[in-house]
Amino acid sequence: MKPMSTFALSALAGAALLALSGLAHAATDVQANVEIDNTLTSGSALSSNDSTGLGQGGRVEVNIGSKSGDGTYVAGRGTLITNKNGTASTDDMWVQIGNASGDVKLGRFEAADLFPLINDTMVGHAGTVYAANSLRGRAGSGAFQAAGTIVLSSSASLEINLIDATKAEMSTSSPNTFLQNVGYNAKGARAVLSLGSGPLSARIGLENGVYKDTGAGANKVQGTGLTVSYDAGSFKLTGNYAKGLQDKSSNNNQTSTALSVGVGGFGAGYVSAVNDQAGGDIKVNTAYVAYTMPLFGVKGAFVTPAYSTSTVKDSVLATSNNLNSVRVRVHYDF
């Protein structure tokens, strides 16, 4: 008998977990979906491993969560991912304790997003774009992460996120981060103030920490971010701003701005970033568009065609690169 593949083992583990959760806790919420991305890419990204040509990726996602308690509650969530290439991984895995005044969350998760993009099915940057999300979370398996949220009023809350990934590499899959190279470890703190009233909402935050490459000294990561959104249901408009210092020794300052709009299933956005360093700058401009529509009217089934185009210009090296991508995503909720 041949040994089972990683995919088969993870699928069996997920099925067993689902069965046990149903028996152990009647209030357990179980959700699952499958997503397939068909992507055609041309051009090249600056300092990137992005490949060109036609490719296909995908994953099955199983979410299990529950929340219990009166007054003070305990909540937990786990997300099992089985990828198209046969590997398995954990996305979210956390426990949360809280009440009406605030909460504490421990485990693997993403803190508040300071640079959200509407319907960002395919957004390929040809160069680095700082988004004030470098210490947001979902670090390596051995990393420590904790976040505390204080409810200031019915329309305001403050989140403090702590992370120490010095014993584990930062995730290479986290979006909107320049800490993407294997070998970078980071630790630091991140604070985000969230405000909301009716259709208007805003988040303002800052992050401060250090990261280091294997065999190199520690470097500063400091940044601030602001996002403002107007959400009227079928229409949504979001603006983002981020400014950060990646490497204090070389005075590598990065500034990014973005504007995105959503109307129904349609989403589009534009991102502009400047990496101002000694001797010149690197400019990145990215535009994208995507449209999510029902698939044959089947409940939980959607298809999203998307297009992204990006240009990076390096004034020091006098080089220019373009990255263009077309993606068709098929999504189905079980």
**What tens digit of pLDDT does each residue of 108-127 get?**
999 999 999 999 999 999 98
Asked if residues 148 and 159 have their Cβ atoms less than 8 Å apart, the reply is yes
Would the pLDDT of 95 be above 60? Answer: yes
- Choose the CATH number for 6-333 among 1.10.3720.10, 2.40.160.10, 3.40.470.10, 3.40.109.10: 2.40.160.10
Would the pLDDT of 180 be above 60? Answer: no
Asked if residues 273 and 244 have their Cβ atoms less than 8 Å apart, the reply is no
Number of residues written out for the chain: 334
CA distance from start to end of the chain? 31
Q: Where does 165-251 show beta strands of DSSP type E?
A: 185-197, 200-212, 218-231, 235-247
Report pLDDT for 213: 56
Distance between CA atoms of 65 and 46, rounded to whole angstroms?
40
| Residue that wins the pLDDT comparison between 52 and 214 | 52
Closest CA to 185 of 156, 209, 155: 209
Of the pLDDT bands very low, low, confident and very high (cuts 50, 70, 90), residue 325 is: very high
Domain boundaries, the chain: 6-333
Average model confidence (pLDDT) for the chain? 84
Over residues 261-268, mean pLDDT: 97
Q: Which amino acid is at 294?
A: P
pTM, rounded to two decimals: 0.84
* Residue 143, Cβ density class (10 Å: 0-12 exposed, 13-18 middle, ≥19 buried): buried
